Amino acid sequence: MPTTEVYFIRHGIAEARHSGVSEAARSLTAKGVTRTQRVAQRLADLGLQFDALLSSPLVRAQQTAEILLAAGLASHLLDCPALSLEGELSDWLNWLANWQHLEQSSDCPAIAIVGHEPNLSGWAQKLVTGQESDQWTLKKAGIIGLQLPAASEAIGRSQLFWLSPPRFLL
């Protein structure tokens, strides 16, 4: 089975936690929109194209994913409950296994997933090292890129190829 490139993208800068808005409804700030648009344009300039774009159902992640979509980085957006704050890596890996089975014709398909901390960096560390820890921190609108084998073999066997805060892309 070919490998899959997975880009873990944290949502952009959002309203403060104690702004009176529910956690699920917190949206991107004006700065968050602008910075995320700049990151998305830079990714497009680099020639990235995602075969699938998944997002947490929370508003700030959906807005971030829509910015990536508007930049032409993917043709469609999929809602993925496994990427919510309560999401589990095992649920996302089950989704990935089904997707990899359907995408066998592609040499190295690419997926972008838009979600939250500490899930994204914790999941990435577990996929690379086999253990979840808090040694990596993914900044807002930052990216971790991993090359994954088959989903059933991904934990501890994935390879890191990209880890950058948004400032490296601006």
Q: At what angle do helices 89-102 and 119-129 cross, to 10 degrees?
A: 70
Closest by alpha carbon to 83, among 11, 148, 33, 150? Answer: 11
Return d(Cα 141, Cα 64) in angstroms, integer.
8
- When divided into structural domains, the chain yields a total of 1
pLDDT, tens digit, for every residue of 68-120? 999 999 999 999 999 999 999 999 999 999 998 887 656 779 999 999 999 99
The range of the structural domain enclosing residue 60 comes to 4-168
CATH code for the domain of 68: 3.40.50.1240
Return d(Cα 154, Cα 156) in angstroms, integer.
6
Is the pTM here over 0.85, yes or no?
A: yes
Closest by alpha carbon to 55, among 108, 103, 4, 120? Answer: 120
